[in-house]
Structure 1
Amino acid sequence: MNLFEHLALLAVLVLAAGFLSLSEIALAGARKIKLKLLAEAGDERAHKVIALQAQSADFFAASQIGLNAIAILGGILGEGALRPFFLEWLTLFYDGPGRDNVAFALSFVFVTTLFVLFADLMPKRLAMIAPESTAMAVVRPVMVVIRVFKPLSWALNKVANMLFRVFGVDTTREDRITFDEISAVVEAGAQAGVLQKQEQHFIENVFELESRAVTSTMTTRENVVFFTLNEAEDSIRQKIATHALSKFPVCDGVIDRVIGYVDTRDILVQLFNRQSRFQLNESSIRKVLIIPDSLTLSELLDRFRATKETFAVVINEYALVVGVVTLSDIMVTVMGKWGAPLEADQQALQREDGSWLIDGSTPVADMKRVLELDALPEEEHYETAAGFMMYMLRKVPKPTDSVEYEGMRFEVLDVDHYRIDQLLVKRIGARGAPSATQADTVAD
């Protein structure tokens, strides 16, 4: 064969190796979720790609056999065809010793560069651009390659499986999807403009329901407005008029003796029926849902769904009431400020100088979001901004006490009977300095 015929055959080998490299990356990188959507839309090729991914050992064995055979053949062919050409070319300006070695090195570099560039690097980069569509485009030729190399790939897979068993390697592919992976996809969608920023927050908040405790979103004990069993009608009317609430717990004297709750719609119905007086009795008091403070918001949603209730009283391990929570509280957690009533006080308010006023009862997750913090130290030990300060200070706080974390100063502004009402948060430096373990504490 002349030089042109050798180069043409070499080009065919490069194209064949490029096809195998492209197919490997496309089949390995194709996302199963997207393939399932395409399969459900009626694309038969997507079904074949999914089946091939489930039994990928045959293809990878056939692919490696083909790639290695082509590489060896290409090296032999290239050296035989190009070495005489480079040797003749070198003779034009050099006729000294070592000319054969230089010609061999030039042919080796040329063939290696050709295969690396056109049979490996470029096909793999092309496959990564759109792995699903590429995998579906090559799946039928790949099935032919698998059938051609079936006997040899079967033998190699047997040997490989035996070695895996000897070394205790589990070759089962795990397709479990984690929250971090979904969060990364959602964030990528927001950056690409597919999702709006608010929609990204909604999705992330829904997944947070699995980890957030009911205490992070409930109305705390000291803010609970309740009726006593023998409360006067005028007092009941006054509380209903003063507090824009639809449900009120009913207690036997003290808040820790909850016997039920009253829905203000029942009172409204009686007023529409022209009943001038309203009394708390068995007919007007509804059975209340009592839940432990260890429940997550996701578990609470399940309780609400099972009982068809939207109001619950939260108690601790000592059977003391720590707060009340409603379905609306959960929706506010998911929707953020969009789900909050327009007249409600904001828990985090940014001032003109860039600092933040944060309510002590603000959940940790909300505080991290407004301050753009990835994490707080040992978050499992507290649930609110006030809990963060008490944990960092290691004492009952007082006004002007402060800690520094991630380049921010958290200062206690107001304390009401040992309860932190409000924090002032200012940025004082670059993030990451100082660390949480080096947080400054203002002593008594």
Structure 2
Amino acid sequence: MDAIPLWVLFGLLILMLLLSAFFSGSETGLMTMNRYRLRTRAKRGERAARLAQDLVERPDHLIGWILLGNNVVQALAASITTVIGYRLFGEIGIAYAAGAVALLLLIFSEYIPKTLAAIYPERLGLPSAYIHWALIRLFYPVVWLVNRVSNALLRLLGVSPEEAAQHSLSAEELRTVVAEAGAMIPHRHQKMLLSILDLEKETVEDIMVPRNEITGIDISEPWEQVRAAIVDSQHTRLPVFDGSIDNLRGVIHLRRVVRLAAENNLDPHSLVGLASEPYFIPEGTPLNQQLLNFQNQKRRIGFVVDEYGDIQGLVTLEDILEEVVGEFTSDPATRIKNVYADPDGCYRVNGSVTIRSLNKNLGWKLPVDGPKTVNGLVMEKLEAMPQAGRRITIKGYEFEITETRANTVKSARVRPPGEQRAAA
């Protein structure tokens, strides 16, 4: 290199620094790009995004090529700096050159390009995809050899490059992504997406109507009462049973009853004939699975049964959808069924209200790992038959039984911990 002018050597050194900065910056940009945004842009037909996606799907190929190119460039930069140092300062210049090249590579070829790429990954990563994609194919034999040797060593350490290339998200990670989306997703849409993810955590028992609150048509009653039940019903579908819900005969759609009623041809026999076969749901079925079951079975209503086949409650498709979009009502006062706020901060609660709905709608923190309803929670804590006026405290919430029926808590008055401290 003695015949090469110094200005040429300096030019080559600057070129090597720029190439090293390109390798370092593009590596950071490509590896830190949002994979899901990249996949979306690739589906829209953006060529740079498609090339970048091809590269990052096999990070062993990409990293192997970038490290190979960067090491070659940095080795050339070190050699050129050594020659420049020797020609300017003699043998002592070699020591100066070693320190100078290390500082130059650290600042201009590592720190600055990687920092910029981490801040603007798409601006630097996408354009570089064209160059890397072409160079990897140009030098494919060398890249292939380096990858084969490197992957063999990785497998000895128990690492599979194919598995490392996967970027699947768990439900909890996806929940974090949605929660941190900020202004990109409206708040209400965030709540709906999180509610969909929460469906797998809840079961049909959490939202079912308890069997003692199921309203239907009892054909054992006088016919006039049956007709009145049909006329006054606020539901479009009603279970038909004989004496009790355990003798379930089917489910009737009131739209099918209207024609016969108008023609005065409706009687108990024809009513049962119009009823469709009941659909039963095993207890413990997750809500996300039951939503799919409703869709596959073309059903909108089902009866939850325990391991003995006894009916425990009723679940509808609308109940599951309300878990996602909220109650189908615009009146805030009726969004929590059978819960009424008092001026003093207490709440009058029906015993059939679920603990989960109280926690979800009022921000309470009552225990949910045991009984599902207020009645069950109070009964478990009492360990005795309930009596009106009895008070107990559960996790700081003061429950006062206000009404009982058939050895169950019909209603209670609840004072949250904050209101209790304020009243004191």
Structure 1 length as normaliser, TM-score?
A: 0.75
Quick check: 2:51–2:133 contact (8 Å CA) kept in 1? no
Specify the code of the residue in structure 1 equivalent to 2:146: L
**Deviation at 1:305?**
2.4
**Deviation at 1:322?**
0.9
Residue by residue over 1:268-293, the C-alpha shift from the partner in whole angstroms, topping out at 9 and shown as x without a partner, is: 3334x252865354333332212222
Quick check: 2:302–2:314 contact (8 Å CA) kept in 1? yes
Superposed, 1:245-324 pairs within 5 Å as: 245-271=235-261, 273-275=262-264, 278-279=267-268, 281=270, 282-324=272-314
Distance 2:73 2:329 in 1: 63
**Residue 186 in structure 1 maps to residue 178 in structure 2:** yes
Note closer, same or farther for the CA distance 1:167–1:341 as it changes in structure 2 (3 Å cut).
same
Distance 1:12 1:201 in 2: 52
**Residue 15 in structure 1 maps to residue 18 in structure 2:** yes
Specify the code of the residue in structure 1 equivalent to 2:168: R
**Deviation at 1:295?**
1.9
Residue by residue over 1:97-148, the C-alpha shift from the partner in whole angstroms, topping out at 9 and shown as x without a partner, is: xxx79x957x666544443333223323333345345433111211343245
Distance 2:266 2:294 in 1: 32
Distance 2:345 2:295 in 1: 42
Structure 2 equivalent of residue 145 of structure 1: 135
**Residue 61 in structure 1 maps to residue 52 in structure 2:** no
Quick check: 2:20–2:73 contact (8 Å CA) kept in 1? yes
Structure 1 equivalent of residue 391 of structure 2: 400
Structure 2 equivalent of residue 433 of structure 1: none
- Aligned partner of residue 22 in structure 1, secondary structure: helix
Distance 2:125 2:225 in 1: 72
Specify the code of the residue in structure 2 equivalent to 1:43: E
Distance 1:283 1:124 in 2: 75
Quick check: 2:282–2:307 contact (8 Å CA) kept in 1? yes
**Deviation at 1:323?**
0.8
**Residue 47 in structure 1 maps to residue 50 in structure 2:** yes
Distance 1:152 1:270 in 2: 83
Distance 1:84 1:349 in 2: 90
Residue by residue over 1:189-220, the C-alpha shift from the partner in whole angstroms, topping out at 9 and shown as x without a partner, is: 3x1x2222111111222233333211111111
Residue by residue over 1:58-114, the C-alpha shift from the partner in whole angstroms, topping out at 9 and shown as x without a partner, is: 3211211222333344345446656998x89xxxxxxxxxxx79x957x66654444
**Residue 223 in structure 1 maps to residue 220 in structure 2:** no
- List runs of 5+ in structure 1 lacking aligned partners: 89-99, 430-444
Quick check: 1:267–1:278 contact (8 Å CA) kept in 2? no
Note closer, same or farther for the CA distance 1:109–1:337 as it changes in structure 2 (3 Å cut).
farther
Structure 1 equivalent of residue 193 of structure 2: 203
Note closer, same or farther for the CA distance 1:28–1:385 as it changes in structure 2 (3 Å cut).
farther
Structure 2 length as normaliser, TM-score?
A: 0.78
- Aligned partner of residue 400 in structure 2, secondary structure: strand
Residue by residue over 1:249-272, the C-alpha shift from the partner in whole angstroms, topping out at 9 and shown as x without a partner, is: 22222222211123333343334x
- Aligned partner of residue 283 in structure 1, secondary structure: helix
- List runs of 5+ in structure 2 lacking aligned partners: none
Note closer, same or farther for the CA distance 1:203–1:360 as it changes in structure 2 (3 Å cut).
farther
**Deviation at 1:7?**
5.1
Note closer, same or farther for the CA distance 1:227–1:144 as it changes in structure 2 (3 Å cut).
closer
Distance 2:70 2:340 in 1: 62
Quick check: 2:218–2:242 contact (8 Å CA) kept in 1? yes
Distance 2:392 2:115 in 1: 56
Note closer, same or farther for the CA distance 1:224–1:145 as it changes in structure 2 (3 Å cut).
same
Structure 2 equivalent of residue 177 of structure 1: 169
Q: Identical aligned pairs, as a percentage?
A: 21
Structure 1 equivalent of residue 77 of structure 2: 74
**What is the number of residues matched between the two proteins?**
405
Distance 1:121 1:362 in 2: 59
Structure 2 equivalent of residue 37 of structure 1: 40
Structure 2 equivalent of residue 424 of structure 1: 415
Note closer, same or farther for the CA distance 1:322–1:42 as it changes in structure 2 (3 Å cut).
same
**Deviation at 1:421?**
4.3
Distance 1:266 1:154 in 2: 71
